[in-house]
Amino acid sequence: MGKRELRSPAAPAPLGTYSQGLVAGDFVYTSGMGPIDPETGEVVGKDVAEQTRQVLANLAAILAEHGLGLDDVVKSTVHLQDLHDDFAAYDEVYRAHFNEPYPVRTTVGSDLMNILVEIDFVAYKRS
């Protein structure tokens, strides 16, 4: 079985040469999503908590295209513009969106383009 693209109008359209998400076997991989309103193309939120909520909504929309939700996420990679100052606020919002067992996660500080947080997921769906 090959790969299949996932695309949701409820998530921001790609701004470059990438897919919002791909299905490969029993796994779904998403691109890194920022806090972009899919209707306006504008950044949502002035702080990392607001931006994290928007990012998670964007990612949830992509997962929903394959019948998945946040409880199906097995791995997340998180980039924070200011890792030291924003980690606690980001983690509080993140924690409210997931149930135990939580996905494995890598969180790093990154130089982001005019946003405070970017997240990508790997999700699992048994076929």
Match 């494995």 to its residue by tokens: 104
Residue-number span of the structural domain to which 120 is assigned = 3-124
pLDDT for res 9: 95
The model's pLDDT over 101-124, given as tens digits with 9 standing for 90+, comes to 999 999 999 999 999 999 999 999
Residue 15 has pLDDT above 90, yes or no: no
pLDDT band for position 95 (cuts 50, 70, 90): very high
Domain CATH for 42: 3.30.1330.40
Nearest to 60 by CA among 103, 95, 86, 97: 97
- Which 3-state string (H, E, C) describes 41-110? CCECCCCHHHHHHHHHHHHHHHHHCCCCCHHHEEEEEEEECCHHHHHHHHHHHHHHCCCCCCCEEEEEEC
pLDDT band for position 1 (cuts 50, 70, 90): low
If you average pLDDT over residues 19-42, what whole number do you get? 96
Could you give the 3-state DSSP secondary structure of residue 18?
coil
pLDDT for res 59: 98
Look at the chain and report how many structural domains it folds into.
1
Match 């790969």 to its residue by tokens: 3
Cα 120 vs. chain centroid, distance in angstroms?
4
% of the chain residues with pLDDT over 90: 96
pLDDT for res 92: 98
Between CA 79 and CA 119 the distance in angstroms is 6
**CA atoms 107, 70, 41, 17: torsion sign:** positive
Nearest to 55 by CA among 41, 35, 71: 35
Residue 126 has pLDDT above 90, yes or no: no
